[in-house]
Chains A and B, each alone.
Chain A
């Protein structure tokens, strides 16, 4: 144990409620004197410190020495608690709305034991296997994990393997995705033009059932377009379908898409070709409706 020679003081740090004495070999004692005091600093593991729930110290010195002890002050960083099966909190990554989940980046310590965990969707509580598990964290490590994508508003990490670990932080990997809706209806807009008409619509969407598109005009009767937006083949990835309305002329135009079940429309990939009446150049492409999604994959 470190012995402070000038004080004849033996200092024995211990952890685990004094069950574990900190080996002398990992302790380096430094001493500075001044103002009549001896300031002693014990470093552990070459500055790496100790990882323990608690820390106590035993002082021993010859009674004849008459040493006076004044203060005891450890420094520490707080660390997360050890858990076994406890799921993390639902994580929306600070971003509201539906997301296209692709995986998690996790900073954790599984005490160098392989740990298996899953990602659970908040929307349907489906569990999504993580490709890189079982994973071993040797002390605190940050590792990215991927899974088959799924759409949810939030997700969390769950585990049932009984292996302890402690998680400093976890960060979901995702892309924003449009919300589901049975009716997508816009306000009336003029697109910066006077008399104008809609030439065509190129609509990326995900729908379990056919979608009916209605164009709403202020200078003529509305136009209902059916049969041009069937149910999509995938409910995870969008399909872009061209919709050709009949001839039309109006000053303000609105759009309405409806289906018997919720569907998604991707605004960033939407194309509505509009042009002023009597134009000489090409049509203007506008994106007047749909949900936000990333411009491209981030994984």
Chain B
């Protein structure tokens, strides 16, 4: 009699996943024909998974996005966290709606602490919009749009009430005077001057020095002695004022009034006055009402001796043969005509330039006058038009070439006007060079001033530090001032609570931070001098709203009326076109000075250099002018797929720009609210779109539909600047992938350095961005498309296993929760399914929940170890040991052939070993799980 045969050990139900590829009678050991809701929590056995717990909260629609935002700061929520979720087109903080207008697809959720925030925010990126949410539900958009209007600038107090000098006067001295050089007449000229002669600027000066006046040897200098240059000094101190009887100024501290004289200017508490009477050391009067002020600052200038223009002889005869260029700036407080008097010996040419908005004019040479001996019409260095002076015959004697001429100069507007004197001296006694206005010496403006200022401003959120790009610049300020009132256009963005003002002026080469005002139209007063703020941060031009892109080329026809282009036909304007976009109207190229105001109106300018001064030129009026923009710069292109941040400097990457599918974008370092134009790199052709990416080992990995790359930092030639990064930020290294990312949302990482992602024909894992390996070929090969063959449902023991519907990629998502990869998808019938990959067991299992799950998310943070489920009914609930879910666990063994595929067997009996499990408790860790209670 034969004995019954049996495997003494039996089939140990050590769950290592299902195998839908092999027939049920050829399934290898450890695999099962079908399984649902089971796990390998125990060795040598199969048990049930954790179950859905009670509802944490409910959203109004199917949940597509989830991530926990921990906020353990004192300002954070009581529980120390909030769950940021997405359902339909809305974003929620727990159950409270905080934003809307999203695409309805899964949102990229990145927790990050902005620069000036103690609390973390959840940054939400989507194809339609982006936002950031704080743990209290406060929501702002990502990035800040730049101001569209330049600040209005008004000088509160001009620097002086009479014409003065602004800043230093510069003297350049050459020792090659014609009378000591190779030629016999004064022939130096400007390079653009049609007169004959040698260009002065082509020869470097022997001496360059600075001073504070236009007074040289006022009493007549001796050729053997160095030319003396009158010096003005500044007296500063503290005074009290009153208008008792006269307008009195009482010295309190600092320099006394001993060096001051009537007619001089004195600035008191940033307001300029004229000294009326001879001061005593402690008292002076001014010509205007000064008011009652106590302990306010004052400054004034007075002559304090002389300095040699050049102390060392330039040639053997001493100081009797040289020529000199004097450059300075005139402060003209009000438009009008001023009488300029030039006294010189020997010869002098003199000229005055214009400002961007003001012109200086004067009569043509009258009888006995000309502009110059050799026919020059411009000053030698800066090319300013020349003022008349006596001709040679009228001014030359054997004793020298003496000039004394007065010219009425009319200034069309207040402002800072440049002046240049070209002086030539050859040995005559009585050497002098003095310029006066209306009979008075030109004194420096008391104290330092703000001159030639231009302002920009940026919007700022003090809560996050988010900054906008700058506003258009204000026109260069004509009037030097000691204080300016700046009025910005307030932002309508609720996150903006501050406006930062920046100034560029004669002493500041870059727009430099001046100060901050509230986000309002209230005036901000700028009283700081260049020297005060020269160490302040300079303006950044790379704070684009994430992410700047390039629009399609546009063209059409416009009318330009009042310097505003009005759309007539063709492509309408896009209000996301950024300033700096080059537009050709008619045949002239302009640059947008701000975004189009609407889809049919825009303004643009270009710059012309006139008389050495840049002039802003607006659109020329005209009708039916063709316009063309070959490369519109586009603001705030929303990217649906973002990941990050990197270690060290925190960069977050993004892809998915429909206008540039092959371009990788990244934010500014440690600033998710800004994305410089330089922070983008074309990785592939648009024919091979970049799909998404992930962070691994602190580095980014980006995948196209066909390939993948590791984004390594470029350590050798990348340089940060205020306009972005110069050079390549990254070194892109091919990871050796043979499969790309097919379903953009199907990519997830676990802490072990593994990237799981959906290729076209299955699910793959890449270790630290290296070559991938399939984790479905063995077990789920037939659930994925191969060679275009559409996979069909697989039935095992009556249980139907539906493949994912790749025609609905937005319904497919990956998430990893400490050892388990969750693959949520919809089948062809629109039914939500979940495949779970046990990373340790290297096997798959179906999860069939009581409440269908659309998205999984690991609860991140300390003292929490749950997996959150976003369900199709809008509920958000955790997986927990001892939840209250009604679900069925199923395990289908392989069919046993006992090694004989053909013959029937006589099955005697069946032995099964099982044990009761541990269930019924609740999770013992805080978080969304373990709370119990609440309905479903």
New A-B pairs, 19, CB < 8 Å, besides A14-B797, A53-B905, A69-B891? A38-B913, A51-B907, A53-B903, A55-B896, A59-B893, A60-B889, A64-B884, A65-B916, A68-B914, A71-B9, A72-B910, A74-B908, A74-B911, A76-B4, A76-B898, A78-B5, A81-B903, A82-B902, A82-B904
Q: Give the segment of A41-49, A147-155, A229-237 that binds chain B.
A: A41-49
- Partner-A contacts on B (CB < 8 A): 2, 4-7, 9-13, 23-25, 33, 37, 42, 44-49, 51, 796-798, 882-898, 900-920
A-B contact pairs, 15 of them (CB 8 A): A7-B914, A38-B914, A39-B911, A55-B895, A64-B48, A64-B919, A64-B920, A67-B917, A69-B46, A70-B913, A71-B9, A74-B896, A76-B4, A79-B906, A81-B904
Contact of B5 among A53, A62, A75 (CB under 8 A): A75
Taking a contact as CB atoms under 8 Å apart, the answer to whether B796 and A18 are in contact is yes
Which of these, B797, B883, B910, B914, contacts A73 with CB under 8 Å?
A: B910
Q: How close is B553's CB to chain A, nearest CB, in angstroms?
A: 59
Q: Please tell me if the beta carbons of A79 and B905 are within 8 angstroms of each other in the complex.
A: yes
Asked if A73 meets B911 with Cβ closer than 8 Å, knowing A55-B895, A68-B45, the reply is yes
Contact B907–A40 (Cβ < 8 Å): no
Q: Is the interface of B mostly helix, strand, loop or mixed?
A: loop
Task: Report if A80 contacts B (CB, 8 A).
Answer: yes
Binding site for B on A (CB under 8 A): 4, 6-7, 9, 11, 13-15, 17-18, 36-44, 49-82, 166
Note all chain B residues with C-beta closer than 8 A to A81: 900, 902-904
Known contacts: A52-B905, A55-B895, A76-B906. The answer to whether A64 contacts B913 by CB under 8 A is no
Residue contact B48 to A67, C-beta cutoff 8 Å = yes
Contact assessment for A17 and B24 in the assembled complex, using a CB-CB cutoff below 8 Å: yes
Complex-state Cα separation, A53 to B24, whole angstroms: 13
Contact between chains at B907 and A61 (CB < 8 Å): no
The 8 Å CB contact of B47, one of A42, A51, A67, A78, is A67
When distances are taken between beta carbons in the complex, the residues of chain A under 8 Å from B46 are: 68-69
User: Per a CB cutoff under 8 Å, which of A6, A7, A56, A71 touches B911?
Assistant: A71
Q: Closest CB of chain A to B901's CB: distance in Å?
A: 8
Are B913 and A40 in contact, with the CB atoms below 8 A?
Answer: yes
A56, B13: Cβ atoms closer than 8 Å: no
A41 in complex: contacting residue of B11, B48, B895, B911, CB < 8 Å: B911
> How far apart sit A282 and B329, CA to CA, in the bound complex (Å)?
172
A82 to chain B, nearest CB (A): 7
Measured in the bound complex, the distance between the Cα atoms of B3 and A75 in whole Å is 10
Please determine whether B914 and A4 come into contact, CB atoms closer than 8 angstroms: yes
**A38 with B916: CB separation less than 8 A:** yes
| Secondary structure class of chain A's binding surface, majority of residues | strand
A13 to B892, CA, bound (A): 10
* Contact, CB under 8 Å: B904 / A79: yes
Given contacts A11-B912, A51-B906, A55-B910, contact A61 B889 (CB under 8 A): yes
Q: Which residues of A contact B6 (CB under 8 A)?
A: 73-76
Are A53 and B902 in contact, CB atoms less than 8 angstroms apart? Answer: yes
Is A9 touching B914 in the complex (CB atoms < 8 A)?
yes
A63-B887, A64-B51, A72-B11 as given contacts; A56 in contact with B912, CB under 8 Å = no
Residue of A nearest to B23 (CB): A17
- Distance between Cα atoms of A122 and B288 in the complex (Å): 146
Find out whether the CB atom of B885 lies under 8 angstroms from the CB atom of A56. no
Query: A69–B45 contact, CB under 8 A?
Result: yes
Given contacts A7-B916, A59-B891, A63-B889, contact A68 B909 (CB under 8 A): no
Q: Are A40 and B903 in contact (CB under 8 A)?
A: no
Q: Are B907 and A56 in contact (CB under 8 A)?
A: no
CB <8 Å contact, B902 and A6: no
B904 near A17 with CB under 8 A, answer no
Q: Which residues of B contact A18 (CB under 8 A)?
A: 24, 33, 796-798, 892, 895
What separation, in Å, do the CA atoms of A52 and B910 have in the docked complex?
A: 13
Contacts of A61 in B (CB 8 A): 48, 888-889
- With A41-B911, A42-B912, A73-B7 known as contacts, the answer to whether A68 contacts B798 (CB < 8 A) is no
Q: Which residues of A sit under 8 angstroms from B892, Cβ to Cβ?
A: 18, 56-59
- Contact partner of B889 (CB less than 8 A), chosen from A11, A40, A62, is A62
**A205 to B836 Cα, complex, angstroms:** 84
Minimum C-beta distance from A180 to chain B (A): 40
B13 proximity list for chain A (CB < 8 A): 69-72
Residues of B within 8 A of A69 (CB): 13, 45-47, 891, 912-914
Q: Which of A66, A70, A74 sits near B48, CB closer than 8 Å? A: A66
The residue on A at minimum CB distance from B903 is: A81
CB of A76 within 8 A of CB of B5, answer yes
Q: Contacts A56-B894, A79-B905 known; A67 to B910 CB distance under 8 Å?
A: no
Contact yes or no, B903 A82, CB < 8 A: yes
Closest CB pairs A-B (n = 6): A66-B917, A73-B10, A66-B919, A56-B895, A81-B903, A71-B913
CB neighbours of B914 from chain A (8 A): 4, 7, 9, 37-38, 40, 67-70
Q: Which residues of B contact A7 (CB under 8 A)?
A: 914-916
Residues of B within 8 A of A39 (CB): 911-913
Q: Are B904 and A51 in contact (CB under 8 A)?
A: yes
Which residue from chain A places its CB closest to the CB of B33 in the assembled complex? A56
Contacts A36-B915, A38-B913; is A70 near B905 (CB within 8 Å)? no
B886 to chain A, nearest CB (A): 8
* A67 engages B12 (CB within 8 Å): no
Given the interface contacts A6-B916, A37-B915, does A75 sit within 8 Å of B893 by beta carbon? no
Alpha-carbon separation in the docked complex, A67 to B890 (Å): 11
In the complex the two chains form, is B890's CB within 8 Å of A59's CB? yes
- Contact between chains at B37 and A63 (CB < 8 Å): yes
B23: chain A residues at CB < 8 Å are: 17
Give the distance to chain B from A247, nearest Cβ to Cβ, in Å.
Answer: 66
CA distance A265 to B172 in the complex (A): 151
CA distance A9 to B798 in the complex (A): 18
Known contacts being A56-B24, A63-B51, is A75 close to B4, with CB within 8 Å? yes
Neighbouring B residues of A66 by C-beta, 8 Å: 47-48, 916-920
Residue of B nearest to A67 (CB): B917
CA distance in complex: A76, B23 (Å): 22
- The chain A residue with its CB closest to the CB of B882 is A64
Given contacts A41-B910, A82-B903, contact A71 B48 (CB under 8 A): no
- Shortest A96–chain B CB gap in Å is 28
Q: In the bound complex, do residue B5 and residue A79 qualify as a contact, i.e. CB atoms below 8 Å apart? A: no
**Chain A proximity of B267: nearest CB distance (Å):** 85
Chain B residues with CB under 8 A of A15: 895, 907
Closest-CB distance, A2 to chain B (whole angstroms)? 10
B889→A78 contact, CB < 8 A: no
Q: Given known contacts A53-B902, A68-B42, A77-B2, is B888 in contact with A63 (CB within 8 Å)?
A: yes
How many angstroms from the CA of A137 to the CA of B417 in the assembled complex?
125
Q: Are B910 and A78 in contact, CB atoms less than 8 angstroms apart?
A: no
Out of A37, A57, A80, name the residue touching B910 (CB < 8 Å): A57
A58 neighbours in B (Cβ, 8 Å): 797, 890-893
Docked Cα-Cα span, A72 to B149, in Å, equals 79
A75 touches B911 (CB 8 A): yes
User: How far, in whole Å, are A123 and B183 apart by their CA atoms in the complex?
Assistant: 142
- Output the least CB separation between A244 and chain B (Å): 59
Known: A56-B892, A68-B45, A68-B46. A80 touches B903 (CB 8 A): yes
Q: Given A51-B907, A53-B902, are A71 and B895 neighbors across the interface (CB < 8 Å)?
A: no
Q: Of the candidates B886, B896, B920, which one forms a contact with A56 in the assembled complex, judged by CB atoms under 8 Å apart? A: B896
CA distance A148 to B305 in the complex (A): 156
Distance between A167 CB and nearest chain B CB, rounded to angstroms = 11
